[in-house]
Amino acid sequence: MRASGRRAALFLLICVATPGSAAATEAFRVNDHVFKTPAVGPRQFPNQKFSGLIEAAARKAALNPALVHAIIAVESGYNPEARSPKGAIGLMQLMPATASRFGVTDPASSPEANLRAGTRYLRYLMQLFDDQLELVLAAYNAGEHAVMRHGNRIPPFRETQKYVPAVMARYHEWREPAKPPPTPATPTSAPPPRTSIIYMPGTSFMPEPAENAVYRLIVPPYYGIAAAR
């Protein structure tokens, strides 16, 4: 979780739909670096050894497992024995002081303990930054205070500027596809009212001898209407 660099990053998320294609692509730009991934993809994570533990810890913290997988892939490469030069430990690369804040005294004791503290910390950051994922990831890498000192923006640290789009790219590749909205039921239209035709007593139809077989209306003369001739 090191942080060093010069200026703030410009972080953009661009969705581009190719005409006629079934899926869109997404581009993540940080300064001059552009990362492209599928907008949604199959839920295939690169490591199955810890998938059950990751799934359980993520669901318990109300997180998408794909997000936890993406962080682990970038932080430790799924190595539970990973240690950074600054002392970050385990799958989620937690500093001992951070793990202690979230109820785990030794984040190296087991992958379960490391995941428990890491997902709790991640849930805390989601609440702190109102689910703004790029700020959450920046805070996970550089610390929440660094993000707040820079006006709730991605800090101007080169590592953080690379870290955020790297995690976002994996997350958008592995996340669960959004469920399509339900199709509204088509309202059934009432049938048009039927027109009633009432004929006077004694009215009859007589076919015309012409080729079109037109029918002539024959009305009795006693209704004051001259009969057709």
Q: What is the pLDDT of residues 128-141, one digit of tens each?
A: 999 999 999 999 99
Give CA–CA dist 136/21, Å, rounded.
Answer: 32
Of residues 190, 184, 173, the one with CA closest to residue 74 = 173
pTM of the model: 0.61
Do 185 and 179 form a contact (C-beta atoms < 8 A)?
no
Q: Which of 26, 75, 134, 173 is catalytic?
A: 75
Q: Report how far residue 26's alpha carbon sits from residue 16's, in angstroms, rounded to the nearest whole number.
A: 6
Sign, CA dihedral 31-34-40-44, equals negative
Known active-site residue 75: yes
Distance, CA of 44 to CA of 54 (rounded, Å): 13
User: Low-confidence residues of the chain, pLDDT below 50?
Assistant: 2-42, 223-229
Count how many residues are written for the chain.
Answer: 229
Q: What is the pLDDT of residue 181?
A: 67
Residue-wise DSSP of 89-104: BTTTTB-HHHHHHTT-
